[in-house]
């Protein structure tokens, strides 16, 4: 019976003959790009619904509602963070 081949782990190997190039970890990083305003979509669960119904065990249809609630809560938290950071886009809604 043939014995299985043992694989050598190549994670710790460097290219032969060349030591790794040193990296200056204390260098000054490149400047960040300008901050773009964040807009809140009208329908936050649209992407989730576009994927179809979630798999269910035992025919339970409540799973989709739980997923929708989680996505809506995450969108609310993201909007609150955007407001606190001052990066929420101005609403172009003229219904006052």
Tens of pLDDT, residue by residue over 30-66, are 999 999 999 999 999 999 999 988 887 777 778 888 9
Q: What is the largest CA-CA distance in the chain?
A: 81
d(CA 91, CA 87): 12
The rounded distance, in Å, linking the Cα atoms of 87 and 43 is 20
Q: Find the domain containing 79 and state its range.
A: 46-85
Any domain includes 24: no
Instruction: Give the helix/strand (H/E) hosting 85.
Output: helix 62-85
Place of tokens 């409540």: 62
40 secondary structure, DSSP code: -
Instruction: Indicate whether 70 belongs to any domain.
Output: yes
The C-alpha angle 40, 44, 48, rounded to 5 degrees, equals: 145
Domains of the chain: total: 1
- Whether residue 58 is contained in a domain is answered as yes
Residue 39 lies in a domain: no
* Residue 66 lies inside a defined structural domain of this protein: yes
pTM above 0.85, yes or no: no
- 60: in domain: yes
Work out the mean pLDDT of the chain and round it to a whole number: 84
């Amino acid at each position: 019976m043939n014995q299985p081949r043992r694989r050598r782990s190549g994670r710790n190997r460097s290219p032969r003959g060349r030591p790794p190039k040193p990296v200056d970890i204390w260098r000054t990083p490149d400047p960040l790009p300008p901050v773009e305003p964040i807009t809140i979509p009208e329908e936050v669960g649209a992407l989730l619904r576009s994927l179809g119904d979630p798999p269910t065990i035992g025919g339970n249809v409540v799973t989709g509602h739980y997923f929708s609630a989680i996505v809506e809560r995450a969108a609310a938290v993201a909007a609150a963070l955007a407001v606190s950071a001052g990066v929420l886009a101005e609403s172009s809604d003229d219904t006052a």
